[in-house]
Structure 1
Amino acid sequence: MAGGADPRPAPDVLTEPFAENRRLLFTVAYEMLGAAADAEDVVQEAWLRWSAADRSDVLEPRAYLVRITTRLALNRLRALQRARETYVGPWLPDPLLTTPDAAHPVERAEEVSLALLVVLETLSPLERAVFVLREVFELPYQEVAHALDRDVVAVRQVAHRAREHVRSRRPRYTPAGPQHTEVTQRFLAACLTGDVAGVLAALSPEVELVTDGGGVVRAARRVIRGADKVSRALVAFAQDETVGRMEWVPAEINGSLGMLALLDGAPAMAAVTELDGDRLARVLVFRNTDRLAGLRRVAP
């Protein structure tokens, strides 16, 4: 259209940079907090800060948004840690569906693995922030230091300390594959049918069972260790009438093989298994229904 106005809509300079980086921002916040609803709140607050800011001097919107999100998440993490000191029973990160149609899309599924998030809980807030930005997202030290308002040398020292801490505590499990699927399916079937021997056959002798109930529902208040104790606890739990009415479906949870339990079509519980060789080394059971929002899909 010669001499006329360009018919294409002008890009929204306010919304576009935020929309392009929203998935990254949610993943950063979730990695730091381990709580989906709180991560969403942080991203929403970051949007409000971004929309109200004078962006005339912002040369790198991505770095600016990451800095805002990191500082907001760091403040919230300190408050959450105080609340978790009084949490009933073991605390596990909020589980997320990481399939393409999940309600909370993340940058990359492997970045939010439960094995990593559980270890990150043992870091200080500053160590966790540095580890997430530097080791997970591989941001330059200068950018990490700017995001946290710290000296680069100090950030390097914190990064080294956090990296060594995570390396020493992060378990080494067999990557998910067909064998993992087969063992998990046999394990679940044995639990639901009360087959103690079948459950035992699927478990490593040093297996751990972690159940997160938060005092909302019945759950073990301590980590259960050892194949015999774990098998008996799981079989007894599976015989509960409510559990018997649940529909179990396979699901990708935090990038790992998991099972999602639906009750009247809504998420009621979830389990993630971790394989060591040909047996299950750890079973994580998410029972606190107040923290299962991340298991809902955008569409059926």
Structure 2
Amino acid sequence: MAGSAGGILLVGAGVAGAALALALKERGLSFLWVAEGVGEASRVPVALVNPVRGKRGVLVPEGGEALEAARELYGRYAPLHMGLLRPVPEGEREAWERRLAGSGLRYLWRGEGLYLPGAFWLEPRPFLERVWAELGGVRDRVVAYAPGEVVLEGGRRLRPELVLYAGGARGAGVFGLEGRFIAGLELLLLEYREEALSYRVFLAGVALGGSYLDLPGYEEPPPAEGEVAWLLEGAESLLGYRPRVAGVWRGVRFRRASPLSPIPGGYALTGFGSTGFLLAPLWARRLVQALG
């Protein structure tokens, strides 16, 4: 696609972009990959790949299949730290059993809660950097888009036959995509957990993470006192004490009702919110299979 040639243009090098790049390669499809940097919100220090979400314990549809696809993909490039414990009171476990039946998830009851041996956490940056080093293309930012023409910040104009947008919150507006912008926050702790804990927040590795704060648009405000307190209160409910904080990471997650949708001249795979590391490998594979 040098100059004005056609073909497939893939935009974005976060988790969805990396998953799409690998799926395109495995399918034998040639493409040009354009990204301003290696991920945005995907550069989170620790990503928890977990099919049981939030305080209410919502089961992600197809969570078992998505977990298997994620484990297979990430395991090629980065160490995976297996196992997740979620507190569940004894009196609620029968109802949980009914919900888990037919979910495809492997689980058992251990101590104070539900244990998912197939859930895991990883450090995303090595994964993203290794995939880009293997398959990457052009470091630039898309500043204008119309079907059949993409303009890069450096002045280059591309005329792809098909565009796959897998960027995040920052570039979504260029492609006419609307959604919610949610502030993601991880506190870096002075202690380490090999096995993840999750209820309202999660603890894994050296990270305490969660997201709940809606933003009016793409911006990265500094962590508010209330956000930090919310995370620490969640950690205290899991540990019985407040862990000590050594640092902070802030990112903006993009959330859409349907992460996969057509756009003029192509498709968008973006807007997973906090489920991106779980769902992107499965959805990327399906999208590429549909391309033929």
How does the TM-score come out when normalised to structure 1? 0.25
- Which structure features the higher share of helix residues? 1
Greater Rg by CA: 1
